[in-house]
A = this chain, B = another copy of it.
């Protein structure tokens, strides 16, 4: 039995529900039916949209005492009577209370009113009581998008009006137009009132209105495109003014000054606007622009409708007689883990970091990557390139580009992302904390992302975002601002994990963890700072007779301290016990939320000590490294030397060598470590996007 036809009153038959174990069945295609009125004793005109059904209640328009009727029509018109009469042909048929006439046509008209349908009504003795005549014009109308995500706008995709995740899913994709076609005097393109360069059209989703029919619509009919008020803050629509949208040459795309050819159709000021009907077989091209990223109050879905309006009597609004609808989802902002290939490395040049700069330059350029230095006039002494920004990207079948997320931290580097990074095919997004205190936990050294993982059978092909906050049990503590957290969670495709980082003075997750690529297991290892591993190494040194070896050798007598002295410092040991318990807590969360085994984790020998009741690295924090493919740039730890070689470097190198990774130790002692940061804090890496497409996620 067809469920949709089933007689059902669930209040009376509640157990019916038990027979239907899934509420949502698959969408069945249903021809759009339109109630249609016949007028007696006058000729009316109607516009018909191919693919719909006009449904007229014959009894409603019948003259009083009508008993029979007959239907005649042009060859291109098909009709059907329901309930089907026992008789056949054009002979008079018995009329009853619910006799319906269903009218369809297969093809568009080439001229207006080229088809005709008439209904004759007869009385008891088959005398004619009245006649209804309709002149019909058929048009084809389809608002089309790239609902199958292949980069092409296909014709009338049956799924274009909904959105589904996954490789078998469907639904078009929209980018937030957050880059700037201009390098000077720039702002984000979505903030410009108009299309300032034709190259900007690449950042918008193509949408095509395909129509077929006579040279013009019958008098009074018109096409209107419209969006809801709710969607208007998230989307704008432009169109080609040119009527030859389909013949537009590639050349146009690469030369500017065609701005006036792309008028705004829909936006917050215009929720509904007439669009021209071009006549014949025509395509009109539209460009759809996303204005905002998914967020707490915006799931990311928007829809655009195209209606055919029928004129009404004077003074009354036109009635939409056909509506076609397409749905887009705004592409999320996606972060890139250490396992993705680097493209560019960013660092700051300051008055005191020449050595560091030189070491980084060698590491980056020797491995074939681009180094971008932010100079002092721009960084104003703020060297924490990791903390002001996070690189990510947005992706669609037609376009993708990097997008920088600007932290509400807003140190002296605050103008860098907008003034330097924003540009053609380089987007910018930020979140402003209006009613919240911004803390050190808002720096993006506290925002990382894991490589792809599978957790209890749930796949995260784009990894999971990792942030650091206070313990949820803490009655007070620092947190990442809610505006940024809401933004990160709303992107959905890299479901975030909140770690506990408030135990650190600076409070960033990159002070105790990172990921490096690996040839085996899950394709990566999680590296964790481990005071226990540190003490184990120092105890081993002592046992092997190196108790008098010095940490910080060569950095000045004030800094130096022997292995024996470190091991005999009970306060330091107690502080490190506390640090280890904090890291262990995070280790358990990471194992659970990333589906890791202990074998996926490597403990690095790093000691901390406590300042102002919170922890900082005791010597350069080797986990705070930069990962460039198989090459690691690691803070030089200045550990105790055995046979002239730093025991900490030796241990680190040995742990990484097993994974085929090569370690370069960079001296950041004076210019970063002493300022409570290291190599990772002082750099940033823009990476290649995932080859995996976010819309193929199963959600």
Q: A residues bordering B, Cβ < 8 Å?
A: 3-12, 14, 17-18, 20-28, 30, 32-35, 37, 55, 57, 60-65, 98, 100, 166-167, 224, 226, 228-230, 270-273, 296-297, 305, 307, 309-310, 312-313, 315-321, 323, 339-340, 451-459, 461, 471-475, 477, 479, 482, 502-503, 520-524, 530, 532-533, 536, 539-540, 542-544, 574-575, 577-578, 580-582, 584-585, 587-588, 591-592, 595, 597-599, 603, 613, 690-692, 696-699
Contact of A296 among B100, B297, B581, B598 (CB under 8 A): B297
Contact of A34 among B296, B522, B588 (CB under 8 A): B588
B532 near A61 with CB under 8 A, answer yes
A11 near B692 with CB under 8 A, answer yes
Contact of A339 among B11, B55, B532 (CB under 8 A): B11
C-alpha spacing A355/B521, complex, angstroms: 84
Q: Which residues of B contact A522 (CB under 8 A)?
A: 7-9
B458 near A23 with CB under 8 A, answer yes
**Which of A7, A10, A166, A613 gathers the greatest number of chain B CB atoms within 10 Å?**
A10
B696 near A4 with CB under 8 A, answer no
A459 near B17 with CB under 8 A, answer yes
Contact of A595 among B4, B533, B690 (CB under 8 A): B4
C-alpha spacing A403/B229, complex, angstroms: 29
- Given pairs A3-B454, A224-B473, 7 additional interface contacts (CB within 8 A): A7-B520, A11-B451, A25-B458, A228-B472, A309-B473, A315-B613, A316-B613
Contact of A523 among B8, B584, B591 (CB under 8 A): B8
B30 near A65 with CB under 8 A, answer no
C-alpha spacing A453/B9, complex, angstroms: 8
B8 near A312 with CB under 8 A, answer no
Q: Which residues of B contact A599 (CB under 8 A)?
A: 98
From known contacts A4-B595, A540-B64, infer whether A17 and B312 are also in contact, taking CB-CB under 8 Å.
no
B319 near A471 with CB under 8 A, answer yes
A33 near B588 with CB under 8 A, answer yes
Chain B nearest CB, measured from A302 CB (Å): 14
Chain B nearest CB, measured from A317 CB (Å): 6
A582 near B319 with CB under 8 A, answer yes
A598 near B312 with CB under 8 A, answer no
C-alpha spacing A542/B65, complex, angstroms: 12
C-alpha spacing A224/B472, complex, angstroms: 10
From known contacts A11-B523, A65-B543, A698-B24, infer whether A317 and B471 are also in contact, taking CB-CB under 8 Å.
yes
Q: Which residues of B contact A475 (CB under 8 A)?
A: 270-273
A35 near B588 with CB under 8 A, answer yes
Q: Which residues of B contact A578 (CB under 8 A)?
A: 312-313, 316
Q: Which residues of B contact A455 (CB under 8 A)?
A: 4
Contact of A3 among B11, B315, B457, B580 (CB under 8 A): B457
Chain B nearest CB, measured from A625 CB (Å): 20
Q: Which residues of B contact A521 (CB under 8 A)?
A: 7
B64 near A539 with CB under 8 A, answer yes
From known contacts A229-B482, A451-B9, A598-B98, infer whether A60 and B539 are also in contact, taking CB-CB under 8 Å.
no
B22 near A698 with CB under 8 A, answer yes
B461 near A17 with CB under 8 A, answer yes
C-alpha spacing A591/B32, complex, angstroms: 10
C-alpha spacing A23/B603, complex, angstroms: 31
Nearest chain B residue, comparing its CB with the CB of A227: B472
A456 near B319 with CB under 8 A, answer no
Q: Which residues of B contact A587 (CB under 8 A)?
A: 35
C-alpha spacing A315/B536, complex, angstroms: 26
A27 near B456 with CB under 8 A, answer yes
A37 near B584 with CB under 8 A, answer yes
Nearest chain B residue, comparing its CB with the CB of A35: B584
From known contacts A12-B523, A272-B475, infer whether A456 and B532 are also in contact, taking CB-CB under 8 Å.
no
B25 near A457 with CB under 8 A, answer yes
Q: Which residues of B contact A65 (CB under 8 A)?
A: 543
C-alpha spacing A7/B519, complex, angstroms: 10
- 17 pairs across A/B with beta carbons < 8 Å? A3-B454, A10-B459, A11-B523, A11-B690, A18-B167, A23-B698, A25-B458, A27-B456, A28-B457, A32-B592, A60-B532, A228-B472, A229-B482, A272-B475, A309-B473, A313-B577, A323-B472
Q: Which residues of B contact A691 (CB under 8 A)?
A: 11, 14
Nearest chain B residue, comparing its CB with the CB of A540: B64
Nearest chain B residue, comparing its CB with the CB of A582: B319
Chain B nearest CB, measured from A290 CB (Å): 19
Chain B nearest CB, measured from A684 CB (Å): 20
Q: Which residues of B contact A9 (CB under 8 A)?
A: 339, 451-452, 522-524
From known contacts A307-B473, A457-B26, A472-B228, infer whether A60 and B11 are also in contact, taking CB-CB under 8 Å.
no
C-alpha spacing A488/B474, complex, angstroms: 37
Nearest chain B residue, comparing its CB with the CB of A518: B9
C-alpha spacing A305/B471, complex, angstroms: 12
Q: Which residues of B contact A543 (CB under 8 A)?
A: 64-65
Chain B nearest CB, measured from A563 CB (Å): 12
Chain B nearest CB, measured from A6 CB (Å): 6
B458 near A24 with CB under 8 A, answer yes
C-alpha spacing A166/B316, complex, angstroms: 46
C-alpha spacing A167/B62, complex, angstroms: 50
B698 near A4 with CB under 8 A, answer no
Chain B nearest CB, measured from A423 CB (Å): 27
From known contacts A7-B522, A588-B35, infer whether A539 and B25 are also in contact, taking CB-CB under 8 Å.
no
B539 near A63 with CB under 8 A, answer yes
C-alpha spacing A309/B474, complex, angstroms: 10
C-alpha spacing A454/B4, complex, angstroms: 6
C-alpha spacing A297/B486, complex, angstroms: 11
A532 near B37 with CB under 8 A, answer yes
B11 near A472 with CB under 8 A, answer no
